[in-house]
């Protein structure tokens, strides 16, 4: 039997339309047809009809005086009808529940906003004992796995902005953070003892958005249980880290 050949389904018109939108989204000034065609390495004839349709559908606006095209706010409006974080949490909640039952630990997702790192979702451990944070809890950016991951995967400018908004940072804090950032960036996650709670190991992994920016952090505050007295299987730190990384990979929007 001959092997079945997979067909690569293409939509050339759609591809050209998306290329135009992506190009104009990166521009500070509107562009002419010729400029758009040149930057996309296409002919004017190839993109002419796409531009007409995008203007008719109000994704682009055409300035007759300058014969240039620019994005409208339509895509922004559409995207805000289903906010990214709302979509992220809708997707994350069943995964968090599965993860917690798999490793018998709690987990939570935190997000940075207005100078604060806030817990926006959580799942308690199914075991009778565990450690979890309430939704709305504010995390210490310089002394938590979530905060260190946030700093490690933020752009340098954003990282400086975050640090500048923390009133209680000392030069010792900053030296500690700089050393941690290098390691966390290299390995892609953070695993370390909680500086605030004895017996808890923070396992934190970044979640990235469509522009490869960090949008949230998912953390398991791992509690070490005594295997001699606990009747169920206990996932070790390495197993828990691996499962957390798998979950984050599913949640990445990039």
Based on the fold, state whether residues 203 and 188 are members of the same structural domain: yes
Kindly report, residue by residue over 126-139, the tens digit of the pLDDT: 877 678 888 888 89
CATH code of the domain covering residue 143:
3.30.450.40
Helices (H), 80-119: 84-103
Expressed as residue numbers, the domain containing 24 is: 12-78
Question: Which of 78, 104, 119 is the last residue before a domain boundary?
Answer: 78
Based on the fold, state whether residues 205 and 229 are members of the same structural domain: yes
Kindly report, residue by residue over 102-122, the tens digit of the pLDDT: 998 999 999 998 788 999 999
Residue-level pLDDT at 140: 87
Based on the fold, state whether residues 96 and 54 are members of the same structural domain: no
> What pTM, to 2 d.p., does this model score?
0.69
Burial (CB count within 10 angstroms: exposed 0-12, middle 13-18, buried 19+), residue 82: exposed
CB 220 within 8 Å of CB 106: yes
Total tally of structural domains belonging to the chain:
2
Based on the fold, state whether residues 28 and 107 are members of the same structural domain: no
- The low-confidence residues of the chain, meaning pLDDT below 50, are 1-6
| Torsion angles phi and psi, residue 246, rounded to 5 | -65, -45
Q: How far is CA 173 from CA 167, 177, 179, in A?
A: 11, 6, 10
């Amino acid at each position: 039997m001959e092997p079945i050949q997979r067909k690569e389904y293409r939509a050339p018109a759609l591809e050209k339309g998306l290329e135009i939108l992506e190009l104009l989204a990166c521009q500070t000034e509107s562009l002419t047809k010729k400029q758009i065609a040149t930057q996309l390495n296409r002919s004017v004839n190839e993109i002419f009809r796409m531009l007409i349709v995008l203007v008719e559908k109000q994704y682009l606006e055409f300035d007759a005086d300058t014969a240039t095209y620019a994005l409208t706010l339509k895509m922004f409006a559409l995207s805000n009808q289903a906010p990214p974080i709302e979509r992220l949490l809708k997707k994350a909640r069943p995964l968090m529940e599965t993860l917690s039952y798999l490793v018998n630990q709690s987990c939570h997702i935190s997000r940075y906003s207005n100078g604060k790192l806030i817990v926006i979702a959580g799942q308690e451990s199914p075991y009778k004992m565990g450690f979890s944070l309430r939704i709305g809890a504010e995390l210490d950016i310089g002394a938590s796995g979530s905060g260190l991951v946030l700093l490690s995967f933020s752009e340098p400018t954003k990282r400086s902005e975050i640090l500048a908004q923390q009133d209680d940072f000392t030069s010792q804090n900053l030296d500690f953070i700089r050393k941690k950032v290098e390691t966390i960036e290299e390995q892609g996650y953070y695993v370390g003892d909680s500086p605030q709670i004895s017996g808890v190991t923070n396992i934190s992994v970044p979640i990235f958005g469509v522009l490869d920016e960090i949008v949230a952090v998912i953390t398991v505050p791992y509690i070490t249980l005594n295997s001699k007295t606990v009747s169920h299987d206990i996932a070790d730190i390495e197993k828990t880290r691996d499962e957390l990384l798998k979950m984050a990979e599913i949640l990445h929007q990039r």
